[in-house]
Structures are given as C-alpha cells and as structure tokens.
Structure 1
Amino acid sequence: MSTAADQTTHAHPAVRVPISWKYPIAYAVLALLALIGFGFGAPADVATTFRFARGGDLFQIPDLTVPTRPTTLVLGVILVLLAALSCWTTARRIRTGVWLPLTFGVLFLASVLCWAGGGHGLVTVTTLLAGALALSVPLIFGAMCGVVGERSGIINIAIEGQLLAGAFLAAVVASALTNPYAGLVAAPIAGALVASVLTLFAVRYWVDQIIIGVVLNVLVVGLTSFLFSTVLTQNPQVWNARQQLPNLPVPLLSDIPVIGPVLFNQNILVYLMYLVVIALQVLVFKSKWGLRMRAIGEHPKAADTVGIHVNFNRVVNTLIAGAIAGLGGAYLTVGSGLAFGKEMSAGQGYIALAAMILGKWNPLGALFAALLFGFTRSFSNSLSAIGGPIPGDLLLMLPYIVTIFAVAGFVGRVRAPAAEGVPYTKQ
C-alpha cells in the first residue's frame, strides 16, 4: 500500500536538469590542440628550461630543463584523459569540483610554455606570475568598485573613467608635490568625483545609468586628454614627472621562492588591494552595512519599509565604489612608476566590469576572474618575450579573446541584483 509521500513523489517526479556539454567539448578541443598542435608540432631535439628561483631567495630551486617534444606529448595525453574524465562525469551527472578545471588549466599552460620555449629561450615562472599580479591590480580594484556599486543597485559602466581619473590626479598631485603617497591620497578623490556625477544623474534625475556611464567615460577621456596636451606636456617636470611608490618587502615571506617576490615584495597599493578584497568579502555578507547594500540592490521597496534610506545608501556606496576604482587608477601611474599618458586605462575598466560579472557579483569571485584576465595578459607578454612561433598580433588579441569566451561561457549562469539600474522613489 503506497503512502501519501509515495503518491506525491509519483505525481510530481523530480525534474532533472539538462546535461550541458559545453565544458567537456571545450576540454576536448583544447586537449586535442595540446596533443596535436603542441605535442606533435613541437620541435625535435630541443629542450625547454623553466626557472623558479631568484638570486636572493631564502633557498634555491634548481632550473628544470625538459625535452620539448616528449614533455608536450605527455602533457597532451594527460589533457586528453582529463577531457575524457570530464565527458564521463558529465554524462553521469557527477560533480568534479574546481580541481578539474584548475588542473587542466595549469597543464595546458605548461604545454603552451614548453612548446613556445623549446629552443627559443628561458621561461621564468616568477616573472610570469609577478607580471600577472601587476596587470591584475587595476582590474581587481575596478571589479571591487563594480561589486559595491551594482550590489547597491547602480549600474557602473563608468569604471573606465574612474580608473583614468584616478591615474590622472595621482600623477599630477604626486608630481607637483614630489611625493607618490600624495598621489595615492588624491586618486580615490578623483574616482569619487566621477562617481558623484553618476549618482547625481542616476539617483536625482533618473537618467539611464548605462548611458550616463558611457558619457562619463567619454567625458573623462576628453578632459584628461585636453589637460595632458595643454598643461602636462608644457611642463612635464612639474605636472607629470614620474613618481613611484617604493616596494615594502615583508621580512622572511618576501624571500620565499616564487610566491615571495610575487605576493610579499610589493608597494602599499598591492597590500591595500589585499585588504580591500578581504574587507569587502566579509562586510558584504557578514555586516549590517552589507545586508543593507544587498537589500537596496535586490528589493529597495522592502528595504525602505524597514527604515533603510535607499537613495542615500546608494549614493554613499557608489562614492565608496568610485574611491576604490580611483585606487586602481593610481596603480597605473604612481603604483607602476609611470607618467600619465592619454587613455592609459586602455579599456581596463570594461574588463573589470566583465570580471565582476564573471565573479557573480562576489568579491572573491571577481578577484579570481580579474586574476585570470591579468594572467592572460602576462602570459601573452611572456610568450612575446620568449620569441616563440605564435604571431605577435594573435598574442595582442589573446587577453580580449579570453575575456569574450569567459563571459560568454559563464554569464548565462549568473543573476544580477534584481533592482540593478532601476531608480527608486517612494510611492
């Protein structure tokens, strides 16, 4: 005799989610590319050398020299096996966790580096990773700006303009006062000023937030380019001299091979980036401020009914977000020891926006997405330095190709805050 629970189960059978073959197909294509293109296509009778240590490290890791073709063939076979494992687990609806994509990605990159470096030069792993972090810093600050703003319900397309404004004011103030730390203080002010214009039109006048963001980007590009041509270039020693934040190595930790120079021998901006990511991850999900932020981004009317001032909090949070983006702009000038140049943000604000979306509006997710894009650029630069067989134009395109495929592959599985971009007024 069937029970009521059994009858309910038969009446409403469990709905099975359709199997997605997107990732197994991607793994298979990349594995075949590694096996056929990098394995059988690798030059014979040459070797590739990987260097992991530097002279001042706490202990030395010897260089690793491997025969190019046998190594790439072995890596290609392993990648094919991992792709087959992905197909098997997908067909049986078995979750593999993050170890599979991470392992596959590391082995695929090793295969590319081994193939490109065969007979061409030395592959320095520490330089590759240090370059990845350096190129990721503006993206991470920009992505954190996007998380705070959009979690509050304000679409922030103006990250590009906030990065550029921060870079400009940081360079000018640091040069005028001959103090890079003064530029570090000025940069978030510039980002917040751009954000204030965004909030004025988005909150007060209900202008479409995407349109105002694009307009602000164009405005900041035009204004900084005009000032660069008319003021900075006329007297660069006063207004646009290079000022660089010094590195502050952490004792002992900075001497650890590979990770020491990458993570613990940086300037104060990089350490601030660590703090910003950790603080936001905790505050967004574990604090009263974060609860209010998520409430006004998801259901502002409900937030208003419990006494939360929706528009005031949106304005404050967007200004905080702009200040964070300004710090990212400072890294382009005083953080890297460069003078300001026209449009030096070079579209990084838009890539930061993509990192935020790929990271599902989560600080840690946005961090890893930004690191992915930064690593891709550093990887491209390393391949160019090695002088391998990959055409230079393709290497320049590589970071943007990865950005497009990453967002196209994941954006369908994420959900933006429900009230994002919707002006709020009391009824």
Structure 2
Amino acid sequence: MSTATTTPSPRTASIAPAIRNWGAPVTLAVLALVALFGFALGSPHATARFRISADADAIKVPDVLLGTTVVGWITAVVLLALAAYAFVLTSRAKPNPRWLVPAFAAVWVIAFLVWVIGSANNPNVYFSGLVAGSFTLAIPLIFGSLSGVLCERSGVINIAIEGQLLAGAFGAAIVGSITQSLLAGVLAAVLASVVVSMVLAVFSIKYLVNQVIVGVVLNVLVAGLTSFLFSTVMKDNSALFNSPPSFHNIRIPGLADIPVFGPILFDQTILGYGMYLAVFLVWFGLFKTRWGLRVRAVGEHPKAADTVGIKVNTMRFWNVTLAGVVAGVGGAFFTLVTSSSFNKEMTAGQGFIALAALIFGRWNPIGAFFAALLFGFSLNLSFVLTILGTPVPSQFMQMLPYVVTVFAVAGLAGKSRPPASNGIPYVKE
C-alpha cells in the first residue's frame, strides 16, 4: 500500500504571509478625524489673513485671505480620502507611495494654520516671517541630525546629540565671552562637542559598552556639568564669562527682498549659510565619494568591509569625531545667534528632536534636513500662535514640537530601516 505525499509547488512554498504596518494609516485616520471635527465642524467662521510681503519688500505680493469654514471642509475631505487610500494600500500589503505622507502633512498644516489663525484675537500672520523663523530655529536641529547621520551611517548609535549641542553652546558662550571673538567661540564649541564625541567613541567602540547607555549617560553628565559651571562660574560674573558676541545676518541686497524665499536663502547668519553647505557636503560625501562608500559599508556589513582592507573601528572612531564637529557648530548657534548668553539646559531637548529628524529622514542627509525643517516649523509656530492669542492653551503650544515629533516618528515614518550594523560593536576575529 503506497502512501501518497503532496509536495508543495515552488509557487505555493514561496508565498509568505504579507507584513502589514498599520501605524501610518491609523495615524492618518486619527489626524483626519481631528481635522473633520476640529477644523470643519469646529470652524470659527472667520477669515484668516496671511501677509506674504512686508512693507519694506521691493516685491509686493497681495495678502491671502482664506475662510476657515471653506478651507476646513475641503481639507477634511482631502485628508479623509488620503487616509482611506492608505488603509486600502495597507490592506492589500502594498507600501504607501512616498508622496502620501508629505501631501497629508502639508494639507493638515494648512488646515490647522487657517483654523488657529482665524480663531486668534488678531487673525493675520506674516507668513514669510513664519517660514523664515522656522528655518532659523531648525538650524541647530539640522546640524544635530547631520551629526547623527555621520555616526549611525558608520554603525554607531548617537543618543548623545543633546549633550553635544549643550557642550557646544557652553563652550561657545564662555570662550566667546572671554575673547570676544566669534571665531574663538565657534572653535571652542566644536572642541567641546568633539570631546563628548570622543568619549562616546572610546567607550562604545574600544570598550564595547552599550552605545545607548553611553549616550544617555553623556547627556546627563553634560547637563549636570554645564549647570554646575553656570551656577558657580558664569552666574556670578556674567559680564566676563557669559556675554559672548553675536553673529549678525548677512543680507544679500535684492535677492533678500524676494517674498518667502528671500529671507530663507539670502538673509542668514554665517552659520545659517553654513548649514546649507553642511547638508550638501554630508550628502555628497556619503553618496558620491569613496569615503562615503566605505562609511556605508562599515555601517551595513563591517565584516565584509574588513575583508577588503577597511579598518572598521578606526573609520567609526573618526566618523563619530567628525559628527562632534558638526554638532558643535549647531551648539554654537544657541549662544552666538539665538541668544547672547548661556542658560542651564538651554537646548531643551532639541538634541532628541534632531535624533527624531534623523529617523524620520531615514538616515539620509536630505531627508533629515526636511524633517528638521518640519520640527523647526512646529517650534516657531508655537511661539507665533502664543503671541497672536489663539484659543489653544499656551501649554499645548509649548508641547507642539514634541507632539509633532511623536506622531512623525511613531506613526508617519513607517517602517524605517537603519544601517544593518547600527549599534552592533565590531570585534575582529
């Protein structure tokens, strides 16, 4: 008596259960419902005025007037349709197109702006100033996220961005105050941040200590040390130790008068212009040079890189150090541009927002740049809306940048894959 056996065909055997990530569609649905009930049904039935040009601008653009009710209903319908589309794609195990989340975010932001400005005591806002201020506030976030890109592309998790920015801010303040030199202040910021980076590199690469733990400890250490030195040294003699000079904007005549884009591209401090250069250099270095190929190889497959003669741990060490240089410039921005003094924990968690921008930007310098701009916009928006006197409580306005961070990373980023060997120490066999 023979026993019949059924051998699965290759076609059947190759079929595996599809993995569906419901995080993005659920988040989009929640935000779409917020738009429906808040911006459409809860419309203040007013008109929001967006001023595009200032009185001194050479090119005049008429103000944009938008009715809160019309915009609320149109955007709510569009958002619900985009959320439904995301659900359909996910149910069929298809990835969401790359344009979906940015388009949804843009429509939602427009709806929120029109609703909240229409609800304000003074329902008009200078839109060009709002955008330009967002770019300015995003500068340290961009430098911080670039620091994270350089580290994590080589396989080292950089949780210490907050500590690097804070150390840079402190170094720039105290040395800039003593020397009254902007160049000395920036160099001191870079040196202070590099010291933090080298401690991270030594413990995580040489002594194989858990990289997340080292980063957290460094953040706490730098916060405590700078707070102590601020209280014992800088506070008692602020004229000598806490009064650094400030960078002034370098305005390019004519081009700076272009509405919206002029203040962003042609009316910045030297650090602002340097931010654009840094984004380009990191992107070009990582994706267009032999050095970048080796860095990415070390982060993805260090053993294979080692077999072709690349010194894995040496490259990781110098990449972490270079990341400290970039973060130091971002730290100098706090005390040499934003304010002419150092305060305890003045970075206020922006290093962690930079880390979120790095993840949201999928470990790409260009993606991190735009993600940091999103968080910078939410930060500046919280300041502007508080001044306008909106019905939204000021406490919620202060929470806005961090709420955006949580939604962006947890819900909208989707399935982001870091470098394969990120956070894994390499021990040569």
Using the size of structure 2 for normalisation, the TM-score is: 0.90
Q: Aligned partner of 1:262: which letter?
A: I
Q: How many residues in Structure 1 have an aligned counterpart in Structure 2? A: 420
Q: More displaced, 158-167 or 66-75? A: 66-75
Confirm or deny that 1:203 pairs with 2:205. yes
| SS in structure 1 of the partner of residue 155 of structure 2 | coil
Cα distance, 1:99 vs structure 2: 3.9
The whole-number CA distance in structure 1 between the counterparts of 2:98 and 2:53 is 28
Q: More displaced, 177-186 or 220-229? A: 177-186
Listed one character per residue, the Cα deviations across residues 224-246 of structure 1 (whole Å, up to 9, x for unaligned) are 11111111112111111142111
Cα distance, 1:279 vs structure 2: 1.0
Against the structure 1 CA distance between its residues 56 and 284, is the aligned structure 2 distance closer, same or farther, given a 3 Å change threshold? Answer: same
| Structure-2 residue corresponding to 1:366 | 368
Equivalent positions of 1:7-406 (< 5 A) are 10=11, 17-18=18-19, 20-44=21-45, 46-87=46-87, 97-118=97-118, 120-121=121-122, 122-406=124-408
Q: Aligned partner of 2:229: which letter?
A: L
Q: Aligned partner of 1:214: which letter?
A: V
Listed one character per residue, the Cα deviations across residues 200-226 of structure 1 (whole Å, up to 9, x for unaligned) are 222222222222222211221121111
Cα distance, 1:328 vs structure 2: 0.8
| SS in structure 1 of the partner of residue 267 of structure 2 | coil
Q: Aligned partner of 2:203: which letter?
A: F
Cα distance, 1:293 vs structure 2: 1.0
Against the structure 1 CA distance between its residues 299 and 407, is the aligned structure 2 distance closer, same or farther, given a 3 Å change threshold? Answer: same
The whole-number CA distance in structure 2 between the counterparts of 1:18 and 1:421 is 25
Matched-pair contact (CA < 8 Å) for 2:23–2:410: no
Q: Aligned partner of 1:102: which letter?
A: P
| Structure-1 residue corresponding to 2:3 | none
Q: Aligned partner of 1:35: which letter?
A: L
Matched-pair contact (CA < 8 Å) for 2:360–2:413: yes
Cα distance, 1:159 vs structure 2: 1.1
Cα distance, 1:415 vs structure 2: 2.1
Against the structure 1 CA distance between its residues 150 and 10, is the aligned structure 2 distance closer, same or farther, given a 3 Å change threshold? Answer: closer
Against the structure 1 CA distance between its residues 203 and 400, is the aligned structure 2 distance closer, same or farther, given a 3 Å change threshold? Answer: same
Q: More displaced, 79-88 or 32-41? A: 79-88
The whole-number CA distance in structure 2 between the counterparts of 1:87 and 1:155 is 33
Against the structure 1 CA distance between its residues 207 and 53, is the aligned structure 2 distance closer, same or farther, given a 3 Å change threshold? Answer: same
The whole-number CA distance in structure 2 between the counterparts of 1:365 and 1:396 is 25
Cα distance, 1:58 vs structure 2: 3.2
Cα distance, 1:70 vs structure 2: 3.3
Against the structure 1 CA distance between its residues 307 and 238, is the aligned structure 2 distance closer, same or farther, given a 3 Å change threshold? Answer: same
Matched-pair contact (CA < 8 Å) for 1:113–1:123: no
Matched-pair contact (CA < 8 Å) for 2:18–2:93: no
Cα distance, 1:266 vs structure 2: 0.5
Q: More displaced, 412-421 or 398-407? A: 412-421
Using the size of structure 1 for normalisation, the TM-score is: 0.90
* Contiguous gaps of at least 5 residues in structure 2: 1-7
Cα distance, 1:260 vs structure 2: 0.8
The whole-number CA distance in structure 1 between the counterparts of 2:180 and 2:415 is 48
* Contiguous gaps of at least 5 residues in structure 1: 1-6
Cα distance, 1:38 vs structure 2: 1.6
The whole-number CA distance in structure 2 between the counterparts of 1:129 and 1:100 is 22
Listed one character per residue, the Cα deviations across residues 378-423 of structure 1 (whole Å, up to 9, x for unaligned) are 2222222221111222222222122122211256612222222233
Matched-pair contact (CA < 8 Å) for 1:113–1:383: no
The whole-number CA distance in structure 2 between the counterparts of 1:409 and 1:340 is 35
Cα distance, 1:337 vs structure 2: 3.4
Against the structure 1 CA distance between its residues 243 and 21, is the aligned structure 2 distance closer, same or farther, given a 3 Å change threshold? Answer: same
The whole-number CA distance in structure 2 between the counterparts of 1:207 and 1:13 is 41
Identical residues among aligned pairs (%): 48
The whole-number CA distance in structure 2 between the counterparts of 1:77 and 1:425 is 55
| SS in structure 1 of the partner of residue 66 of structure 2 | strand
| SS in structure 2 of the partner of residue 234 of structure 1 | coil
| SS in structure 2 of the partner of residue 334 of structure 1 | helix
Cα distance, 1:8 vs structure 2: 8.0
The whole-number CA distance in structure 2 between the counterparts of 1:274 and 1:22 is 32
Matched-pair contact (CA < 8 Å) for 2:101–2:412: no
The whole-number CA distance in structure 1 between the counterparts of 2:159 and 2:316 is 15
The whole-number CA distance in structure 1 between the counterparts of 2:352 and 2:290 is 30
Against the structure 1 CA distance between its residues 151 and 232, is the aligned structure 2 distance closer, same or farther, given a 3 Å change threshold? Answer: same
The whole-number CA distance in structure 1 between the counterparts of 2:137 and 2:245 is 19
Q: Aligned partner of 2:168: which letter?
A: G
| Structure-1 residue corresponding to 2:4 | none
Confirm or deny that 1:408 pairs with 2:410. yes
Cα distance, 1:16 vs structure 2: 7.7
Against the structure 1 CA distance between its residues 31 and 227, is the aligned structure 2 distance closer, same or farther, given a 3 Å change threshold? Answer: same
Against the structure 1 CA distance between its residues 358 and 239, is the aligned structure 2 distance closer, same or farther, given a 3 Å change threshold? Answer: same
Matched-pair contact (CA < 8 Å) for 2:21–2:414: no
| SS in structure 2 of the partner of residue 413 of structure 1 | coil
Cα distance, 1:89 vs structure 2: 5.8
Cα distance, 1:98 vs structure 2: 4.0
The whole-number CA distance in structure 1 between the counterparts of 2:213 and 2:414 is 23
RMSD: 2.4
Listed one character per residue, the Cα deviations across residues 42-69 of structure 1 (whole Å, up to 9, x for unaligned) are 223x322111111232311111233333
